Amino acid sequence: MSSSTSTEQQLFTIPTHQRAQVCTKFGDDSAQCLQLVHDHPVPIETSIEPNQVLVKVMAASVNPVDYKIVRGVLGRFGPQPPCVLGNDASGIVVQVGTSVTKFKVGDCVLAYKVPTKLGTYCEYTTFHENEVAKKPPLMSWTDAACTPLVSMTIWKCLQYVKDPATELKDQPVLVVGASGGTGSWGVLLLKHFYGAKVYAVCSTNNLEYVRSLGADVVIDYKTQDYSSVISENGDRLKLVIDCVGGYDVIDKSYTVLDKRGTFVTICSPKDLMGFWDICSFAWTLLWKKTLSFATHPNFYIAFANPDGAALQNIVDWAERNGQLYKLVRTHSEYELEDVPKAHTDLETHRTVGKIAIRVQKDSGGLH
Ligand SMILES: NC(=O)c1ccc[n+]([C@@H]2O[C@H](COP(=O)([O-])OP(=O)(O)OC[C@H]3O[C@@H](n4cnc5c(N)ncnc54)[C@H](OP(=O)(O)O)[C@@H]3O)[C@@H](O)[C@H]2O)c1
């Protein structure tokens, strides 16, 4: 162990065991499946891989994939109980692997993990150093924990546009599901990063919130047909980011999508009930994808990948431009023991922005 590491360890004494929300079984009710334990082992130096950092988690956030895993949606492709869930975290690096070069003990960071390697509903967790970004000092722990997965998902969507800086500037684009965690970042990045003309779809209660994110035209899907509004304005969309899913969004969006435009969905339809539903949706995707090769709009399904360098660019940009991440509403904040309630809230599909989980209080004066 290096001398600098041992000095920092005096600041952050790492316990052998920690509090963690452990998913003990799959099921429909997170309250029945998640259990707060006090004796979950902390990964110690010998179990940290050379390219990993050990992070003291100050805050985490909840994403739909977490309750979907509890419901067994990822089946054998996801983590298996008993396991700790949670993708996003903000916290302090308290140990570094032998080949880590980008971070040192004491760095305040934010990061998210790939869905197959979850585990931020706990006090200490490891990340590959390439998944991690440094937290701007003025960004709160909860804002930082609410940022990685959703912003990086939208960033991934934007990679499907060849040259977004020139192709999207002042051009009409659409975000469906704009009041949710991912949709909020969709509006932020399209408006403030790329200067697009942003149409955004949400329900009546969230019109003002979505406008506050910077959307140019906010459409209430409860009272208006967004394809009609866009076509009455004489616009053809260059890009659609679908954060809701389903055939309806594809069909409506295609009526107002430019032939050279791009449709990116991050979702599967909510109503995949059985084998034939899945076959039918797979056929739709295959058909759209095949048409993409002709003159029709490009069609993509985006999956976020942890990318610390891209995450760093986004948080630094948001910080420089007046802490834009603060525009994303924190719907509610829970303590670690209340993660099941946070899951239940998110499962209503009616939360606005993000749900944060406060994990630890003592940051040793660092921020
Ligand atoms: N592919 C990936 O890598 C990836 C990454 C992250 C998330 N996802 C998926 O993307 C989806 C959204 O995630 P999220 O974190 O944004 O979820 P979220 O925070 O729960 O947001 C969902 C939003 O959808 C809106 N909504 C519900 N029904 C709607 C409808 N009929 N029409 C329009 N909007 C509707 C709701 O807003 P209103 O109340 O205003 O209607 C809600 O705010 C989830 O299915 C998630 O699993 C995929």
pLDDT tens-digit readout, 80-111: 999 999 999 999 999 999 999 999 999 999 99
| pLDDT surpasses 70 at 242 | yes
Same domain for 251 and 165? yes
pLDDT band at 73 (very low <50, low <70, confident <90, very high): confident
Round to whole Å and give the CA distance between 357 and 58: 9
User: Which of 68, 147, 201, 203 gets mutated to test ligand 1 (max ligand atoms within 8 A of its CB)?
Assistant: 203
Task: Report the domain count for the chain.
Answer: 2
Q: Read off the CATH number of the domain in which 79 is found.
A: 3.90.180.10
pLDDT for the residue 269:
59
Round to whole Å and give the CA distance between 35 and 137: 33
Q: How far is CA 308 from the centre of its chain?
A: 13
pLDDT for the residue 11:
59
- Its domain, for residue 276, covers 151-301
Q: Which atom belonging to ligand 1 lies closest to the Cα atom of 304?
A: 3
Q: Which of 39-48, 53-62, 290-299 has the highest mean pLDDT?
A: 53-62
Same domain for 223 and 238? yes
Please check whether residue 162 lies inside any domain of the structure. Answer: yes
Q: Cα dist. 210→180, 181, 201, 214, 254 in Å?
A: 9, 11, 8, 7, 23
pLDDT for the residue 46:
74
| pLDDT surpasses 70 at 231 | yes
Write 37-45 long-range contacts (CB < 8 A, 24+): 40/84, 40/122, 41/16, 41/17, 42/14, 42/15, 42/16, 42/17, 42/18, 42/123, 42/124, 43/124, 43/125, 43/126, 44/14, 44/16, 45/1, 45/95
pLDDT band at 130 (very low <50, low <70, confident <90, very high): very high
Q: Residue of the nearest CA to atom 21 in ligand 1?
A: 180
Please check whether residue 317 lies inside any domain of the structure. Answer: no
Same domain for 59 and 177? no
User: Which of 244, 270, 346 gets mutated to test ligand 1 (max ligand atoms within 8 A of its CB)?
Assistant: 244
Closest CA to 111 of 127, 98, 95, 96: 127
Alpha helix locations (H) across 189-271?
207-213, 226-232, 247-255
**Residue 244 Cα, ligand 1 centroid: separation in angstroms?**
5
- Spell out which residues line ligand 1, taking CB within 6 angstroms: 63-65, 149-150, 153, 176-177, 179-183, 201-203, 206, 221, 243-245, 266-267, 302-304, 346, 349-351
**Residue 71 Cα, ligand 1 centroid: separation in angstroms?**
17
pLDDT for the residue 219:
98
Tell me if 65 sits within 8 A of 347, measured CB to CB.
Answer: no
pLDDT band at 277 (very low <50, low <70, confident <90, very high): low
Q: Read off the CATH number of the domain in which 289 is found.
A: 3.40.50.720
| pLDDT surpasses 90 at 135 | yes
Last residue of a domain, one of 264, 282, 301: 301
Please check whether residue 322 lies inside any domain of the structure. Answer: no
Same domain for 71 and 99? yes
Please check whether residue 319 lies inside any domain of the structure. Answer: no
Residue 119 is classified by DSSP as: -
Tell me if 221 sits within 8 A of 282, measured CB to CB.
Answer: no
Q: Which residues pair with 36 in a beta bridge?
A: 21
Q: Residue of the nearest CA to atom 13 in ligand 1?
A: 182
pLDDT for the residue 243:
97
Q: Which atom belonging to ligand 1 lies closest to the Cα atom of 203?
A: 40
Buried b (16+ CB within 10 A) or exposed e, 204-239: eebbebbbebbbebbbbbeeeebbebbeeeebebbb
**Residue 318 Cα, ligand 1 centroid: separation in angstroms?**
22
Please check whether residue 41 lies inside any domain of the structure. Answer: yes
Same domain for 102 and 87? yes
**Residue 243 Cα, ligand 1 centroid: separation in angstroms?**
5
| pLDDT surpasses 70 at 8 | no
Burial class of residue 200 in the structure, from the number of CB atoms within 10 Å of its CB (0-12 exposed, 13-18 middle, 19+ buried) = buried
Check the CA dihedral 328-332-334-340 and report its sign: negative
Same domain for 86 and 211? no
Lowest mean pLDDT among 39-53, 55-69, 229-243: 39-53
Percent of the chain with pLDDT over 70: 93
Please check whether residue 309 lies inside any domain of the structure. Answer: no
- What is the phi/psi pair of residue 148, to 5°? -60, -60
Please check whether residue 28 lies inside any domain of the structure. Answer: yes
pLDDT for the residue 247:
84
| pLDDT surpasses 50 at 7 | no
Q: What number of residues does the chain have? A: 367
Q: Residue of the nearest CA to atom 39 in ligand 1?
A: 350
- Mean pLDDT rounded to a whole number for the chain: 91
User: Which of 69, 88, 151, 202 gets mutated to test ligand 1 (max ligand atoms within 8 A of its CB)?
Assistant: 202
Same domain for 21 and 74? yes
pLDDT for the residue 6:
47
What does pTM read for this prediction? 0.93
pLDDT band at 270 (very low <50, low <70, confident <90, very high): low
**Rounded mean pLDDT, 332-349:** 97
Q: Residue of the nearest CA to atom 42 in ligand 1?
A: 180
Please check whether residue 74 lies inside any domain of the structure. Answer: yes
Tell me if 264 sits within 8 A of 157, measured CB to CB.
Answer: yes
Same domain for 208 and 263? yes
| pLDDT surpasses 80 at 116 | no
Closest CA to 239 of 192, 185, 200: 200
Same domain for 283 and 203? yes
Cα dihedral 64/66/67/73 (nearest 10)? 100
- What is the phi/psi pair of residue 355, to 5°? -110, 125
Other C-beta atoms within 10 Å of 116: how many? 10
**Residue 320 Cα, ligand 1 centroid: separation in angstroms?**
28
Check the CA dihedral 264-184-238-218 and report its sign: positive
